[in-house]
Amino acid sequence: MHGWIILDKPLGLGSAQAVAAVKRNLREAGFGKVKVGHGGTLDPLATGVLPIALGEATKLCGRMLDASKTYDFTICFGAETSGLDAEGEVVATSDHRPSLAQVEAALAQFIGPIAQIPPAYSAIKVDGKRAYDLARAGEVVEMKSRNVTVHDLYVHADVTIGALASVTLTADVSKGTYIRSLARDIAHAVGTVGHVSMLRRTRAGPFNLESAISLDKLNAFGQGADQEDIILPIEAGLVDIPALILSPEQARAVQQGRVLTGIAMKDGLHWARGADLRPIALVQNVDGILKTVRGFNLTP
């Protein structure tokens, strides 16, 4: 069993719980023990696209973690919380409510490479411990600024004229970007405070909501429903990079980890496949020298 299950993670379910649900349903469907991993954590208060890798696809989890992602999120103005979300304790308040024009004018400064301070309630390690464990223990956690990139940021939908109690935005961001921090900083930029009251991931790398299934559909699969549209092939996670078809001799060389030369192709990352179109490996071409990055052990 190799491939992807793209879960539309519901509210309140943690990423580890989602992985456990996939393992349970695979067992119930008769697939036995399958290696399972996820391609990017989603907080329990967030919903949306959670790529879950099966078997050899778990070798792509690191690449999925590095992929850009798209979120819809709502900033509720007037209260900043300790976790920068709806669950945290209120730590600051403001009576000021910005206008739509003020929000839109402020967004430009957050597009492109930016520095942001992650939330204290995050999985980042500080002195070898998770920041959220330190924060929950009542310790003051000094989070270091980190560089991230916001590729695009805009108002998600039309809103009413006048002072805004909240606004919903869409952000396309690089790995490592915290939407809760982005929301906090946008609120500060328009002269108030705020927190995230809704967060939904609509894309993770090549996967979007169109390929995602509900938890109910996953559970139905475990109870014997057809697996069509449930398990996607490994190559579904590779559609954003070029494919390279190798001859049988070249395929054997790549599988053995040998370096290839003399293949006319662009520099960069590719996924190699044989004549049967089966994925063989992730390969990197640099100045005509092709090296294996990660091999796949897939039997015909």
| Per-residue pLDDT tens digits for 91-131 | 999 999 999 999 999 999 999 999 998 887 766 777 677 77
How far apart CA 18 and CA 24 sit, in angstroms, is 10
**What token pair was written down for 287?**
């100045």
> b/e string for 178-196 if b means 16 or more Cβ within 10 A?
bbbbbbbbbbebbebbbbb
Higher-confidence residue of 139 and 230: namely 230
Residue 85 known to be catalytic: no
Number of other residues whose CB lies within 10 A of the CB of residue 171: 23
Residues 6+ apart with CB under 8 A from 93: 78, 79, 80, 193
Backbone angles phi and psi of 66, in degrees to 5? -80, -10
Which tokens in the block code for residue 144?
């270091």
What percent of the chain has pLDDT above 70?
Answer: 96
pTM for this model (two decimals):
0.90
Q: Please compute the mean of the pLDDT values over residues 288-292 and round it to a whole number.
A: 87
Candidates 8, 43, 85, 185; catalytic one: 43
94 CA to centre of own chain: 32
Q: Are 22 and 9 in contact (CB under 8 A)?
A: no
Confidence of residue 137 (pLDDT cuts 50, 70, 90): low
